[in-house]
Amino acid sequence: MTPQHPQHLDDVLSLIKDAMADGAALAIVGHGSKSDWGYPVAEARPVVLDRLSGVIDYQPEELILTVRAGTAMTEINKALAKQNQMLGFEPPDLGELYGANNPSSNKGSIGGVLATNLSGSRRLTAGAARDFLLGFEAASGRGERFRSGGKVVKNVTGYDLSKLICGSFGTLAIMDEITLKTLPKPEATKSLIFPADDLAAAGKHIAAILATPHEPSAAAILPADMAAKAGYDMAKMLVVIRLEGFAISVNARADALLALYAGGDEIDDKASQSLWQLITNTVLLADSQGDIWKVSCPATAAPAIIQGLKDILPKDLPLRYYADWAGGLLWLDLPSQVTPADVAYGARLRQILADHGGGFAQLIRDSNITRQYLPAFQPLADAQFGLHKRIKAAFDPMRVLNPGRMHHDI
Ligand SMILES: Cc1cc2nc3c(=O)[nH]c(=O)nc-3n(C[C@H](O)[C@H](O)[C@H](O)COP(=O)(O)OP(=O)(O)OC[C@H]3O[C@@H](n4cnc5c(N)ncnc54)[C@H](O)[C@@H]3O)c2cc1C
């Protein structure tokens, strides 16, 4: 089927109305770099949103950027860089993870970033993509044009649909005009590294630092093998703390933390930036031969979850992983499930998560094998599933938009 490239929201509305009339479905992509996330939308008319593109309005003094959803991330980053500003939620550059030679690998669109709620290491303190979406205009699966939010931080009457649309993977509505909150880039960045005996000690160390008034913007934990990959030879664990802001403040906070906690060391702006790119962009696991899992869990549960996985892996297969968001985000490298008889490490992972306070395990990269045996997205509890179905029905009763993209039957 020839992909449609709508130029305006009116074109999108007509495509939706035609699909409703024909009882057809639409497969919605921005630039298609995340087509591997979740499930392909079968037997659907492909709609590519790359021509819903361009900066509509940028008021750096108001920290407001209005763009069209198909605008490439490279174009947005260029516009922001000119004004020394950034997207506070630090959308990760997943180029290495998906391999430049992967045909669908490109820089992606802002619509794709928001629809997947893709957020980097500063999510720990600044918030996720959904917290920076001030407003948008979109077309629902009913073929209705609607607006939510606006151009100021608190401009929402009724349900905050901006929060709902982020992470909905194009299953509820197709965004066009988007207004984002921007932030000034920090004048200085510095990172502190501390050794730790194990994951639990590393987590406690970070919790203690987060309880001080020194406001790290990000905190990660690298086991020795990951630290070595980043160029830091550590016996056991490496705690990485990022400080951002005015230079005088960053230096004072760094000095205070290094005085408070022995054994620490600081790395300068340049080294700090490259270390965080390895962490935020999941480059540390890009060479994995197995499956990449993204797990959100209570930070205090991370040690038990990791130990649970180590207990089920063959002794000659050490677990490759690291933690971001102060331990609340685990990036895992697990063996693929190639045949039904193979150990379903993904299912075991979800059981271990359920046994330790719950969480979300998303299959991020698996060369389309493991997902044949288990859901790529964390399965929903019955009540949640029912709510999701009813919300979907409210936005898209005929399941025109990306049916089955996230969960079968939704
Ligand atoms: C600087 C930078 C560089 C990057 N480089 C790479 C890279 O090289 N390779 C890589 O893989 N990733 C890269 N990324 C990450 C990439 O931008 C994100 O993964 C982004 O989510 C993908 O956008 P896309 O348009 O390709 O998404 P798609 O794969 O097209 O869509 C993802 C999901 O969002 C939905 N969606 C898309 N647009 C809309 C819309 N307008 N309304 C509603 N739903 C929508 C789709 O239906 C789909 O479910 C980079 C990010 C940044 C910030």
pLDDT tens-place string over residues 322-336: 999 999 999 999 999
Say which CATH number the domain at 265 has: 3.30.70.2190
> Is residue 350 a part of any domain in this protein?
yes
| Distance of CA 250 from the midpoint of ligand 1 (Å) | 33
Closest residue by Cα to atom 34, ligand 1, is 112
Q: Are 158 and 201 contained in the same domain?
A: no
**pLDDT bucket at 151, cuts 50 / 70 / 90:** confident
Per-residue model confidence (pLDDT) at position 60: 97
Residue 401 lies inside a defined structural domain of this protein: no
6 CB within 6 A, ligand 1: no
What distance in angstroms lies between residue 380's CA and the mean position of ligand 1's atoms? Answer: 24
Establish if 382 belongs to a structural domain: no
State if residue 169 touches ligand 1 by the CB under 6 angstroms criterion: yes
Q: What is the mean pLDDT of residues 235-241?
A: 92
377 pLDDT above the threshold of 90: yes
Q: Tokens 């086991």, residue? A: 223
* 200 and 330 inside one domain: no
Q: How confident is the model at residue 100 (pLDDT cuts 50, 70, 90)?
A: low
Residue at a domain's end among 184, 211, 234? 184
Residue 106 has pLDDT above 70, yes or no: no
- Number of domains, the chain: 3
Q: pLDDT tens, 318-372?
A: 999 999 999 999 999 999 988 888 888 999 999 999 999 999 999 999 877 888 8
In the predicted structure, residue 382 carries a pLDDT above the cut 60: yes
Are 274 and 288 within one domain? no
> How many A from CA of 104 to the centre of ligand 1?
10
* Domain extent at residue 210: 188-281
Where residue 105 falls among pLDDT bands split at 50, 70, 90? Answer: low
Q: Which atom of ligand 1 is nearest to the CA of 29?
A: 30
From 6-15, 25-34, 35-44, the region with the lowest mean pLDDT = 35-44
Asked whether residue 240 is domain-assigned, the answer is: yes
Residue 168 alpha carbon to ligand 1 centre in Å? 13
Position 102 pLDDT exceeds 60: no
Domain membership flag for residue 1:
no
Percent of residues, the chain, with pLDDT higher than 70: 97
Query: Is the beta carbon of 33 within 6 A of some atom in ligand 1?
Result: yes
CB atoms within 10 A of CB 294: 17
Amino acid 303: pLDDT? 98
Distance between CA 253 and CA 190 in Å, rounded? 10
Atom index in ligand 1 nearest the CA of residue 33 equals 26
324: domain CATH number is 3.30.70
94 pocket-lining for ligand 1 (C-beta < 6 Å): yes
CATH of the domain at 48: 3.30.465.10
Last residue of a domain, one of 251, 281, 311: 281
- Judgement on whether residues 166 and 51 belong to the same structural domain of the protein: yes
Residues 171 and 114 in one domain: yes
Shared domain for 175 and 37, answered yes or no, is yes
- Whether 365 and 290 map to the same domain: the answer is yes
Atom 21 in ligand 1: which residue has the minimum CA distance? 113
Domain co-membership, 176 together with 55: yes
| Ligand 1 mean position, distance from CA 117 (Å) | 10
Among the three residues 162, 184, 206, which one is the final residue of a domain in this structure?
184
Separation in Å, CA 88 to CA 144, 185, 243 = 31, 9, 14
CB of residue 16 inside a 6 A radius of ligand 1: no
Residues 269, 297, single domain; the answer is: no
Percent of the chain with pLDDT over 90: 83
How far CA 170 is from CA of 7, 92, 386, in Å, comes to 17, 20, 19
Q: Which of 241, 238, 217 is nearest to 119 (CA)?
A: 217
Judgement on whether residues 22 and 140 belong to the same structural domain of the protein: yes
Q: Which residues, in sequence order, are bridge partners of residue 323?
A: 221, 330
Provide the sign of the torsion angle of the four alpha carbons 247, 248, 250, 255, taken in this order. Answer: positive
Domain shared by 271 and 144, yes or no: no
Q: Are residues 192 and 175 in the same domain?
A: no
Look at ligand 1, atom 9, and give the residue with the nearest C-alpha.
95
Cβ–ligand 1 contact at 49 (below 6 Å): yes
pTM of the model: 0.94
399 located within any domain: no
